[in-house]
Each structure stands twice: as C-alpha cells, then as structure tokens.
Amino acid sequence: MASLPMPPALNMGPPRAVNEQNRAAATTEVAPVRTGSADARAAGRGPSGAGEKQPRRAMKVILAQPRGFCAGVVRAIEIVERALEKYGPPVYVRHEIVHNKFVVDSLKAKGAIFVEELSEVPQGAVTIFSAHGVAKSVVNEAAGRRLPVLDATCPLVTKVHNQGKRYVAQGRVLILVGHAGHPEVEGTLGQIDGPVVLVQSEQDVAALTIPPDTPVAYVTQTTLSVDDTRGIIVALERRYHNIVGPEIRDICYATQNRQSAVRELSHHVDVILVVGAKNSSNSNRLREIGAEAGIPSYLIADGSELAPEWVKDANTIGITAGASAPEVLVEDVIDTLRTLGEVEVSTLPGRQEHIEFRLPRELATS
Ligand code: SF4
C-alpha cells in the first residue's frame, strides 16, 4: 500500500492552482509519476537473490480528463481554509464540507470541527454550511442564534434552489429529481416553500398521483447528469403536458464532464478505478457508468483499498476521480500500482475546465 502524506501537508490549493494542474495533466504524453518510496517498495517485493531478478509486469495507466475537484469543491475547501486563517481555529462546519474523508481530516487537522447539527456549535462560533446546501430551517436556526455564518453552498446548487423557488412562485408543483436522503436533496426540499415531490426513478414517475393537467416543473440534483435524468424527464414530459424545466446548460458542468470522460475512458481500458468516497454520489455514479460500459469498475478511497486481483490480468488500467477527491489520492493509487509492476501513465485528451466561483465577500480579500 502506498503511504499517504499526512493530511495537513495536503495542499488542496486555490482554484487557479487546481486549474493549472488540470491543464498540465491534459496531455497524451507519457507522464511518469515516480516516487522514491514507491520504487523502494517495488524493489522490496523483488527476488532477494543476486542475479535472480525477474522482469516486472508492465501496465499502462490512463487518466480520465477531467477528473477530481470541481470548482464548487475548490471553493468550499478554500472557504474553510480562509476562515481558519482569518478567524483562527476552531471554525465549525455543518456536515462534511465535501464528501471526502481525506479532505475532511486535512481540515480537521487545521482546526475545523465538523458537526451534523447546529445545536453542537457553541454560541458565537464561526459556522460554515457545506457545499451541498442547507434547508431554510437551518439558515433560520443559525440566524436565530446569531451565529456568524459563511455559506459554502456551491453556486450551482443555489441556482437550483432559486430556479425551484421561481417555478413554485409561478404556481407550479415542483418535482425534484434526486436521491432521497442526500444532503443536497434535503437542502433543496427544505429551501422551497410549497409542494415539492421527490422522484428517483421512472417507476416513481408512474406512481405519481398529481393530476395530468397540473402545471408542473422539475429541477434536478446537481450530481445527476443530463444522461442520468433523461429517462425520468422523458417520463415526466409524457405524463404532464404543462411542464417546464431548466435549460440543459444549467446542469452542473462538472458532473457531465466527468461522466463523459469516464465513458470515453471505458473505450481504452480493461479495468476502471474510481477514486472517491463511498458516500459521494458523483463518484458512485462514475463507477456505475464504467460498469454499464462493460468494464469492471471499482470505487476506492485511496491506494490502500486497491485489491491486486482486480488488476492482475489488466494491461491497461483507467483511473478517474469524483468531484470531491483530491489529485493526491489519484497519485496514491498510481504509487500502489507501481508496487505491482512497471507503470506508464498517460492522460486522455478531454474537456478543459476554467470555471472558478467567487468566495463570499467576507473572505474574498483576506
Ligand atoms: S459537482 Fe457541480 S454542483 Fe456539485 S459542488 Fe461541484 S460544481 Fe458544484
């Protein structure tokens, strides 16, 4: 297993740094990512007798482009880091700032305290809402307690909230396409006054009891792509003729781009490793897309979760990462593969992302 740097050493960096990193990675040139420790580990697994060296197996690793951090995640992490710098530790974060244990542990080590309920936040303590957004009741509770709040809700999630509110104000019944229990869905349901109905599948659409002549509208969870929601939306449009929904361009660019990239990756590889957390909706979806393309696909948090038998017959291994997984964890997986053989790394050409979201006013100039 590759050893990870201690979380505090992780430089998750500002948006510009991440974009530069993505640009640098967008090359089809072979780009070895050697580390001394990985080579040492690999050497340690070789035959011990002098002159008995056996050739190590060779593997190609192809990285999807884009992969990993999106602009909303970069912004959320930067909000916590800047708040720690400006106000000093501790700062309180409601829910995991993004769904990645490594990121959360890194911020904990710097002085962030993660809580699930505002009741756990001491009076007067700086409080940050996670990238997934929160219900109005949470906003109101924080205001009632006069907690100083920094909102790390991704602007694209806020856009969904505002779109939903506009539809309801037009007198439409709102249908939210998403996964029950996901914090973003809980937040969206709790942001919109009026009738909001959650549907998770085409079967849910068939079971709806809203009369067919009702004016309805739909919005979607941001970590579902256009492709994910197409079937459900077609089913809704068949049932309801007076229906409106957001423009395609309103769907989260990062979700769509990462899914398109993993589909492309599936044409070139024997196995796909998705780096991401088990509770990350978009990472799970990336794994599913790989599997749907007929490629054995595995979701792993880092190199320690890589089972050698998954890759033992693979000549070409594809790697991607969910929107909340830092690049250092992708490198950790590559380091672990290097303990199994020689690795040649290249990156598929893919869409370049140059999106950055502004920080809250309180932190923009600190
Ligand atoms: S996946 Fe999309 S909506 Fe979610 S945080 Fe990233 S940019 Fe925002």
Poorest-pLDDT segment among 96-100, 170-174, 220-224, 248-252? 248-252
Query: What local confidence, expressed as pLDDT, does residue 249 receive?
Result: 57
**Helix-strand-coil percent breakdown of the chain, rounded to 5?**
45, 15, 40
The C-alpha atoms of residue 160 and residue 61 are separated, in whole angstroms, by: 37
What is the whole-number distance in angstroms between the Cα of residue 170 and the centre of ligand 1?
27
Q: How many CA atoms lie within 13 A of 274 on its CB side?
A: 30
Nearest CA to ligand 1 atom 7: 72
Any ligand 1 atom below 6 A from CB of 70: yes
Any ligand 1 atom below 6 A from CB of 131: yes
How many CB atoms are located within 10 Å of the residue 243 CB? 18
Identity (one letter) of the amino acid at 168?
A: V
At 45, the pLDDT band (50, 70, 90 cuts) reads very low
| Active-site annotation, residues | 184
- Specify the higher pLDDT residue, 167 or 3: 167
CA distances from 109 to 49, 72, 114 (A): 44, 22, 11
SS3 state of residue 2 = coil
Q: Tell me what the pLDDT averaged over the chain comes to.
A: 87
pTM of the model: 0.85
What is the whole-number distance in angstroms between the Cα of residue 74 and the centre of ligand 1?
10
Query: What local confidence, expressed as pLDDT, does residue 41 receive?
Result: 39
Residues 71-96: what's their mean pLDDT? Answer: 97
- Specify the higher pLDDT residue, 250 or 2: 250
The C-alpha atoms of residue 319 and residue 236 are separated, in whole angstroms, by: 35
Residue 93 has pLDDT above 70, yes or no: yes
At 10, the pLDDT band (50, 70, 90 cuts) reads very low
The ligand 1 atom at the shortest distance from the C-alpha of residue 357 is 7
Q: Which two tokens stand for residue 282?
A: 């978009």
Nearest CA to ligand 1 atom 2: 252
At 340, the pLDDT band (50, 70, 90 cuts) reads very high
Residue 137 has pLDDT above 90, yes or no: yes
SS3 state of residue 81 = helix
DSSP 55: P
Residue to probe by mutation, ligand 1, list 67, 73, 100, 179, most atoms within 8 Å of CB:
73
The ligand 1 atom at the shortest distance from the C-alpha of residue 73 is 5
Q: Can you name the residues that pair with 220 across neighbouring β-strands?
A: 177
> Do 102 and 69 meet the contact criterion of CB atoms below 8 Å apart?
no
> Do 319 and 64 meet the contact criterion of CB atoms below 8 Å apart?
yes
Q: Residues 37, 19, 79, 114: is their CA dihedral positive or negative?
A: negative
